[in-house]
Amino acid sequence: MSLKDFNFNVHHTQNYARVGVIETHRGNINTPAFMPVGTQATVKGVFLDDIKKTGSEIILSNTYHLMIRPGVERIESVGGLHEFMNCDLPILTDSGGFQVMSLSKLNKIDRDKGAIFQSHIDGKTFILSPEESIRIQKGLNSDIVMVMDECPKNTKDYDKIKKSMELSSDWAKRSKDAFGINEHKGLFGIVQGGLFNDLRKKSLNNLIDIGFNGYALGGLAVGETQDEMFDVLDGIKDHMPKDKPRYLMGVGTPSDILGAVKRGVDMFDCVMPTRSGRTGLAFTWDGQIQIRNSKYKNDNTPLDKNVTKFNLNKYSKNYLNHLFNTNEMLASMILTLNNINFYQNLMSNIRDNIKQGTFDEFHNKYINKL
């Protein structure tokens, strides 16, 4: 049986906001889409069958973590990441660049060799070049592959960001060469340039010259304000190719997503719904709830009366407060599932409102509430 080619089409727009479909041989992805993060071949605390029931159509896994543990060879030996984790959804793998910056005990960037770094687990030295990152992602057999980039820390140093952007452009070309031709998978370039619009445009133009299946915006969600992030999106939105998916990496809060969709972004990922679920923060249509707070000790109402999926509303705030304050693992499981379900419900509502031409009203209603 022949495999379906990777493809993307936009079906509805309202100003810059748009609804589309990414086609992969493992299934279609309706955009705007949120990808739950399965860092180490699992979305923490949730079965994949339940992830699918939330409406999730793609998940993200992490090249850096999987190359360290359990190692790509172990995953490749069973046929790839889908077989390893028993997942039939499309999977996007990031390149590892962000984790090299944020997690490694010691790292050094060499233009030719790549990123030389020590594992945050045991201090072992690794070298992650653009070619090696692509080799690992091919071994993982992911459906969307990200180029290797350098993700600098948040800084106002123009020259430092310019140098980093130019390095990322060079590595993008090397990643494309290493990837070769595969019509069934997507290869995304990553736009860098910090908070400087001229560098962002230069980076994007370099990537367009190379040619990719999609274009991601990296180097954000690293400490800048929301207004600064939106300024970057405003500066680049008229220049992004209209016929390719646009992916804002590592973002974010529900209001981040609403504002980014308004500026033309199609894809998102973030650990926030799962990490928050493990620490007692719930996302609801009435706003965020920190369930550990003592005011919920005698509150017998559900987290969100509007939620019916998974019978999540049968658990009272009183009960969840008790579970968290006694460190019961069920607490994290319930809130993590609640949060992923909320995010996917948010994305579904975003898509519906764009189709109906009411997204601006929806955006304005919830941008400061969620």
pLDDT tens per residue across span 263-319: 999 999 999 999 999 999 999 999 999 999 999 999 999 999 989 899 999 999 999
- Is the pLDDT score of 55 beyond 70? yes
CA distance 291 to 138: 42
Q: pLDDT grade, residue 204 (50/70/90)?
A: very high
Q: pLDDT grade, residue 120 (50/70/90)?
A: confident
Average pLDDT over residues 60-69: 94
- Is the pLDDT score of 2 beyond 90? no
Q: pLDDT grade, residue 98 (50/70/90)?
A: confident
HSE-CB of 170 using CA atoms within 13 angstroms: 13
Superfamily (CATH) of domain 7-97+127-270: Queuine tRNA-ribosyltransferase-like (3.20.20.105)
Nearest to 262 by CA among 350, 200, 345: 350
Q: What is the pLDDT of residue 121?
A: 87
Between 105 and 77, residue with greater pLDDT? 77
336: its two tokens: 């993590």
Q: What is the pLDDT of residue 154?
A: 86
Q: What is the pLDDT of residues 317-345, one digit of tens each?
A: 999 999 999 999 999 999 999 999 999 99
pLDDT mean across residues, the chain: 95
Axis-axis angle for helices 329-356, 359-366 (nearest 10) = 140
- Is the pLDDT score of 346 beyond 80? yes
Catalytic amino acids? 94, 269
Q: What is the pLDDT of residue 279?
A: 97
Print the SS3 string covering the chain: CCCCCCEEEEEEEECCEEEEEEEECCEEEEECEEECECCCCCCCCCCHHHHHHCCCCCEEEEHHHHHHCCCHHHHHCCCCHHHHHCCCCCEEEECCHHHHHHCCCCEEEECCCEEEEECCCCCCEEEECHHHHHHHHHHHCCCEEECCCCCCCCCCCHHHHHHHHHHHHHHHHHHHHHHCCCCCCEEEEEECCCCCHHHHHHHHHHHHHHCCCEEEECCCCCCCCHHHHHHHHHHHCCCCCCCCCEEECCCCCHHHHHHHHHCCCCEEECCHHHHHHHHCEEEECCEEEECCCHHHCCCCCECCCCCCHHHHHHCEHHHHHHHHHCCCHHHHHHHHHHHHHHHHHHHHHHHHHHHHCCHHHHHHHHCCCC
With a CB cutoff of 8 Å and minimum separation 6, the contacts of 94 are 60, 62, 63, 64, 146, 249
Q: What is the pLDDT of residue 1?
A: 59
155: its two tokens: 């800084």
Name residue, tokens 């030295």.
125
- Is the pLDDT score of 148 beyond 70? yes
Amino acid, res. 106: L
Q: What is the pLDDT of residue 97?
A: 80
What's the Cα-to-Cα distance from 128 to each of 99, 131, 164, 180, 228, rounded to whole Å? 11, 8, 16, 19, 30
Q: What is the pLDDT of residue 3?
A: 86
Q: pLDDT grade, residue 104 (50/70/90)?
A: low
Q: What is the pLDDT of residue 119?
A: 84
Burial class (CB in 10 A: 0-12, 13-18, 19+), 325: middle
Q: What is the pLDDT of residue 36?
A: 98
Tell me the pairing of strands 33-35 and 267-269. Answer: parallel
Q: What is the pLDDT of residues 205-232, one digit of tens each?
A: 999 999 999 999 999 999 999 999 999 9
Which region, left, alpha or beta, applies to residue 204 given φ > 0 means left and ψ of -120 to 50 means alpha?
Answer: alpha
Other CB atoms within 10 A of residue 246 CB: 27
154: its two tokens: 């948040």
For residue 273, say if its preceding peptide bond is cis, omega within 30 degrees of 0. no
167: its two tokens: 């390095």
pTM: 0.97
The full set of domain ranges for the chain reads: 7-97+127-270, 272-364
Q: What is the pLDDT of residues 165-176, one digit of tens each?
A: 999 999 999 999
- Is the pLDDT score of 56 beyond 90? yes
Q: pLDDT grade, residue 102 (50/70/90)?
A: confident
- Is the pLDDT score of 99 beyond 90? no
